[in-house]
């Protein structure tokens, strides 16, 4: 069985076991992930954080763009998917953490991310959990950092605009369903 089909089956099993936590039946397409990562400066980042690493679609693309001395902290709440990430990516820059994204600060040792990649299914999360995670994102970013958020609905945009002074949106049509990509910054962009 090829890796892509295997990943789809693993993702589907994780979805079946906990649909509100996983939020999608299939992993995000590589094209949508590339579109999302193009909105941030992954090659210039010293610390990248990934929330909702899943089967590693974003992880692999982030690692391919990162510089040799950078670090990636990938949080994945599903133990099976976290093990898959550890087995799949033998890269000293990667630290896989099996925990909820709401506990992100506990794993950063006071550091702040230059790029934060987030593929959490916000619209399917319990409202209190969604609020806690969203409110933690600006605190996790370095002053010039960017949070890259991928969703399958634009519904989260108003909450992102409440938390970040700058929110840019792009739609990636090369995904089923089309993906809404948000680049959120704590500093407003100057022309």
Per-residue tens of pLDDT for the chain, all 191 residues: 556 555 545 545 544 445 444 344 456 788 999 999 999 999 999 999 999 999 999 999 999 999 999 999 999 999 999 999 999 999 999 999 999 999 999 999 999 999 999 999 998 999 999 999 999 999 999 999 999 999 999 999 999 999 999 999 999 998 888 999 999 999 875 54
CATH number of 3-185: 3.40.50.150
Cα torsion 44, 48, 52, 53 to 10°: value is 80
**Distances from the Cα of 189 to the Cα of 141, 145, 181, 186, angstroms:** 15, 11, 18, 9
Three-class secondary structure of residue 70 per DSSP: coil
Q: Cβ contacts of residue 150 below 8 Å, gap of 6+? A: 28, 32, 33, 36, 118, 119, 172, 179, 180, 181, 182
Give the start-to-end residue ranges of the domains of the chain: 3-185
Q: Report how far residue 146's alpha carbon sits from residue 165's, in angstroms, rounded to the nearest whole number.
A: 11
Peptide bond just before 63 cis, omega within 30 deg: no
The C-alpha R_g of the chain, in whole angstroms, comes to 15
Residue with tokens 């909450």: 159
């Amino acid at each position: 069985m090829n890796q892509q089909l295997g990943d789809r089956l693993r993702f589907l099993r994780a979805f079946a076991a906990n649909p509100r936590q996983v939020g999608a039946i299939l992993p995000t397409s590589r094209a949508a992930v590339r579109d999302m990562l193009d909105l941030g400066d992954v090659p210039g980042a010293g610390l990248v954080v990934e929330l909702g690493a899943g089967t590693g679609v974003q992880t692999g693309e982030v690692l391919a763009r990162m510089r040799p001395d950078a670090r990636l902290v990938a949080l994945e709440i599903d133990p099976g998917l976290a093990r898959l990430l550890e087995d799949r990516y033998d890269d000293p820059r990667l630290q896989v953490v099996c925990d909820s994204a709401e506990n992100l600060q506990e794993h950063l040792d006071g550091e702040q991310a230059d790029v934060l990649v987030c593929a959490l299914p916000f619209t399917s999360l319990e409202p209190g959990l969604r609020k806690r995670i969203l409110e933690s994102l600006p605190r996790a970013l370095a002053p010039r950092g960017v949070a890259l958020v991928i969703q399958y609905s634009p519904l989260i945009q108003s909450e992102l605009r409440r938390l970040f002074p700058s929110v840019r949106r792009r739609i990636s049509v090369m995904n089923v369903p089309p993906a809404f990509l948000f680049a959120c910054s704590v500093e407003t962009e100057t022309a």
